Amino acid sequence: MKIIICLSLLLVFGCESKGSQESFGGFKQPCYGDKTCDEPFVCISGICLEELGDGETFDDLNDLEVNDNEANDVNIVEASDSNDCYIDSEGDDIEEESMVDNDLETHDEDPTVDTPYCINEECLVPEGAYMMGCRNETIVGCNKDQFPYHKAVLSEFWIDQYEVTIEQFKRCVDAGVCNNDTDLQYVEHDENQAQLCNFGTNFESLPMNCISWYGAKEYCNWIGKRLPTEAEWEKASRGTDERNYPWGDDKATCNYAVMSVEIGKEGCETGRTWPVGSKPLGISPYGLLDMGGNVMEWVFDGYKDDFYADSPLKNPVFSEDVDERSIRGGSFTSAPVYLMTSARDHDSKSSILFDVGFRCAR
């Protein structure tokens, strides 16, 4: 059974609250498998929702069973002029074509915060221009490598909605593809040493960290994708409205991101990473989560501090085979300034860091 649901902010705010499990302040409860939802709720597209029968809407819910495999087949679309949710039990397009926002189908314009377009945990970033880098030299925390502020024009691409998890990366390890036979790719959790490394723990929804650029690249290639370029990552994070943070210009707090409150209070006072997608208020314009905080993310580009001074206008990428690779996004150890959409970091592509993970693009 394919479920097509009208949403704003990826099931966080768009549909009426009927039939959903609420958490803090009335927001929808995120989830990472049915075991994290209280009965009778099930995990659908990262949010705890009541089980749905064929042809039902959220206005007349019954305790009917939803198969786990069916529940994972969710298309996200925006319905215009309505907050109702529509179900297509046969997996066909909804007949009421007028209910579907044409912008989401044709992608003539960039989606806004209210209309991200994400399917199967991938989000679309349409073709077009945006402004890249730090927009004002007076902004505290903008380093020289974020200047000059410049236009970049990108082709359409898809990028993962969430950071790659332990569960996902383990499949590549089990397949014998992701390994440490040549280049060091990852480090497992060790009670005596790498206690902050997530791989090897039972928390499969945590982001994959303690992974080198080699390991991130190997995984993305294995699933038929690639690491995003630095320019792609920044557009997916900030959109076209020149915002300072993925969620807008509001100050970075634990309402929006898994971050450091102050020294000694990393991970919003937990001291570590959180399950991916735990901060729905931190959503980016295109529907991505954790673009600020949780773990920083490897991108494809080599790092060059003055690359912006002469980068090409269209699809810029620093593709020289250098050891230093760019890292974006801030982490659970980061202060607010490092969560900004323009913030850049870098390290050796063989480095294994407990605050760095990745996501893939295509």
What is the structure's pLDDT at 347? 98
Topology given in CATH for the domain delimited by 155-362: paralog of FGE (formylglycine-generating enzyme) (3.90.1580)
pLDDT by residue for the chain (362 residues), tens only, comes to 333 223 233 333 333 333 334 332 222 344 433 335 566 655 543 444 444 444 433 233 223 222 333 333 333 333 333 333 222 223 333 232 222 233 323 334 444 444 789 999 999 999 999 999 999 877 878 999 999 999 999 999 999 999 999 999 999 999 999 999 888 899 988 877 778 999 999 999 999 999 999 999 999 999 999 999 999 999 999 999 999 999 999 999 999 999 999 988 999 999 999 999 999 999 999 999 999 999 999 999 999 999 999 999 999 999 999 999 999 999 999 999 999 999 999 999 999 999 999 999 99
Domain ranges for the chain:
155-362
What is the structure's pLDDT at 301? 98
Burial class for 264, CB neighbours closer than 10 Å (0-12, 13-18, 19+)? exposed
Q: How many helices (H) and strands (E) does the chain have?
A: 6, 13
Yes or no: say if 284 and 246 are a contact pair by the CB < 8 Å rule: yes
The half-sphere exposure of 127 on its side-chain side, counting CA atoms within 13 A, is: 5
Q: Which residues pair with 122 in a beta bridge?
A: 119, 160
What is the structure's pLDDT at 24? 27
Spatial CA neighbour of 360 closest among 213, 163, 235, 227: 227
Yes or no: say if 199 and 210 are a contact pair by the CB < 8 Å rule: yes
